[in-house]
């Protein structure tokens, strides 16, 4: 009730939620009360949690902030949602996002934009901007987001919260609407690193319903948070501190690294030489995967169907013309182009090769250090509308986050300072595959 009152009060101006799930939440809250009365214990009993609107929650709309899924009601729970429910969570609403998670500002959402709670003339980041804003504005205790090229970490950084993109394969994608399946990962967006560890304990781990979900041990991530970091090596990748980085971001992250040094961590300079090709490789591969994943929205199986169609073919084309927004169409076209027979070798295949080189860069760097530290976003939260008409500018703002998705490694964003105008700045920690425990351990040193 308290959280719904808070939402009533502040969400008009922020727009963090796509829609609320009040009736189901009341049932879950009562169920949690009953479990408490029976003396049961569970990690999230009664904790109000928000879920990005591309993760299926049974019997609620899952719109991906797109017109084409506006009327879609999920017939089943995503694995992460089933696990949250088992853990006693109360799912209070679905958060707004860039349409199909394509974007970095939450401005491509079909229903409404989301504003940054720290400065409502600015974007909250994206594509999980609704989840970040909801946590930041106290409209939930914690939220789930998804990260394909930075969509958990960049909004977390812009809204002054913690966001973790787990290793590819750590968290089940069953019930997550696919954008780029070889990149997508669900992760926690929370106020603290400790909360992120608690949430990852609940949602992480093997799932037979997702063949890419790894069958590896899931440690208790809360147990190692307080471990001493003395003697660990923090790698500083020179390519992540180039001229294009806002000086205030650079200064805050440098101060963060000095803080780790003051705790006895050793700084080592490392290089990730293929970073300059990462944006191009990511946008080729992610668009290619998106173009095939989004072919299922044809007006037949589910979602929106055009009423203006005259025949079957025309029904497909009209439905997609009317149902998808501009950014989604741009990516479907780009993806179809790079996969077409005459261009496959020049773009898609080359993109895959660059992906391997980027991964090898990380493997080499992480042999010289235990964890990498870098900025999350090259810039401070920007003004609404500032980059909307310039897709290339928007794509370039993902420069520092998308390499972790190309390589499949875990990456954490933690708040490390404020700009002169009082805007939050995040520091990014990246680590070896399945070494989230170490990222959380080091990230906890900032709290």
Measured from the CB atom, the residue of 172 and 201 that comes closer to ligand GLN is 172
Which region, judged by CB under 6 A, interacts with ligand GLN, from 149-157, 293-301, 412-420, 427-435? 149-157
Decide if 52 is catalytic: yes
Decide if 291 is catalytic: no
**Site for ligand GLN (CB under 6 A): which residue of 78, 91, 102, 171?**
102
- Considering the rule CB under 6 A, would residue 103 count as an interface residue with ligand GLN? yes
* Contact positions with ligand GLN (CB under 6 A) in 162-181: 179
- Considering the rule CB under 6 A, would residue 289 count as an interface residue with ligand GLN? no
Least separation, in Å, of the C-beta of 394 and ligand GLN?
A: 7
Measured from the CB atom, the residue of 25 and 161 that comes closer to ligand GLN is 161
**Site for ligand GLN (CB under 6 A): which residue of 229, 286, 288, 365?**
286
Least separation, in Å, of the C-beta of 133 and ligand GLN?
A: 16
Please write down the HEC assignment for all residues of the chain.
CHHHHHHHHHHHHHCCEEEECHHHHHHHHHHHHHHHHCCCCCCCCCCEEEEECCECCCCCECCCCCHHHCCCECCCCCHHHHHHHHCCCEEEEEECCCHHHCCCCCCCCCCCCCCECCECCECCCCCCHHHHHHHHCCCCCEEEEEECCCCCHHHHHHCCCEEEECCCCCECCCCECCCCCCCCEEEEEECCHHHHHHHHHHHECCCCCCCCCCCCCCCCCCCCCCCCCCCCEEEEEHHHHCCCCCHHHHHHHHHHHHHHHHCCCEEEEECCHHHHHHHHHHHHHHHHHHHHHHHHCCCCCCCCCCCCCCCHHHHHHHHHHHHCCHHHHHHHHHHHHHHCCCCCHHHHHHHHHHHHHHHHHHHHHHHHCCEEEEECCCCCCCECCCCCCCHHHHHHCCCCCHHHHHHCCCEEEEEEEECCCCCEEEEEEECCCCCHHHHHHHHHHHC
> Residues 66, 105, 127, 403: which is the catalytic one?
127
- Considering the rule CB under 6 A, would residue 89 count as an interface residue with ligand GLN? no
Least separation, in Å, of the C-beta of 264 and ligand GLN?
A: 34
Decide if 413 is catalytic: no
- Considering the rule CB under 6 A, would residue 319 count as an interface residue with ligand GLN? no
Least separation, in Å, of the C-beta of 87 and ligand GLN?
A: 25
- Considering the rule CB under 6 A, would residue 148 count as an interface residue with ligand GLN? yes
Active site residues: 52, 127, 151
Which residues would be at the binding site for ligand GLN (CB under 6 A)? 101-104, 127, 147-151, 179, 286, 398
């Amino acid at each position: 009730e308290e959280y719904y009152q808070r939402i009533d009060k502040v969400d008009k101006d922020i727009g963090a939620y796509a829609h609320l799930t009040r009736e189901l939440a009341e049932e879950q809250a009562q169920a949690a009360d009953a479990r408490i009365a029976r003396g049961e214990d569970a990690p999230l009993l009664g904790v109000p949690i928000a879920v990005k609107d591309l993760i299926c929650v049974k019997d609620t709309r899952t719109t991906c902030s797109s017109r084409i899924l506006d009327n879609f009601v999920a017939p089943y729970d995503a694995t992460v949602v089933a696990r949250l429910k088992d853990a006693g969570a109360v799912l209070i609403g679905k958060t707004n996002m860039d349409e199909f998670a394509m974007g970095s500002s939450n401005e491509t959402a079909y229903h409404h934009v989301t504003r940054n709670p720290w400065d409502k003339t600015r974007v909250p980041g994206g594509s999980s901007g609704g989840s970040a804003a909801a946590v930041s504005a106290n409209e939930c205790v914690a939220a789930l987001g998804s990260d394909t090229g930075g969509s958990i970490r960049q909004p977390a950084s812009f809204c002054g919260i913690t966001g973790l993109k787990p290793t590819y394969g750590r968290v089940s994608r069953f019930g997550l609407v696919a954008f780029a399946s070889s990149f997508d990962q669900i992760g926690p967006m929370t106020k603290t690193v400790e909360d992120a560890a608690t949430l990852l304990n609940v949602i992480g781990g093997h799932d037979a319903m997702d063949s890419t979900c790894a069958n590896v041990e899931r440690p208790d991530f809360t147990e190692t948070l307080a471990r001493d970091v003395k003697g660990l090596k923090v790698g500083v990748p020179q390519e992540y501190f180039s001229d294009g980085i806002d000086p205030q971001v650079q200064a805050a992250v440098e101060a963060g690294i000095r803080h780790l040094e003051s705790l006895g961590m050793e700084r080592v300079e490392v290089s990730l030489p293929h970073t300059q090709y990462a944006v191009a490789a990511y946008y080729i591969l992610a668009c290619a995967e998106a173009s095939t994943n989004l072919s299922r929205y044809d007006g037949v199986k589910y979602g929106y169907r055009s009423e203006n169609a005259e025949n079957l073919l025309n029904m497909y084309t009209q439905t997609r013309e009317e149902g998808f927004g501009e950014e989604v169409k741009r990516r479907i076209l780009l993806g179809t182009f790079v996969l077409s027979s005459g261009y496959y070798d020049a773009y898609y295949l080359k993109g895959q090769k660059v992906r391997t080189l980027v991964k090898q860069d990380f493997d080499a760097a992480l042999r010289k250090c235990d964890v990498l530290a870098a900025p999350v976003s090259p810039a401070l939260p920007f003004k609404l509308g500032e980059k909307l008409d310039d897709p290339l500018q928007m794509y370039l703002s993902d420069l520092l986050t998308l390499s972790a998705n190309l390589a499949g490694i875990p990456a954490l964003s933690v708040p490390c300072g404020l700009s002169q105008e009082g805007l939050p700045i995040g520091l990014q920690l990246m680590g070896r595959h399945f070494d989230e425990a170490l990222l959380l351990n080091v990230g906890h040193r900032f709290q």
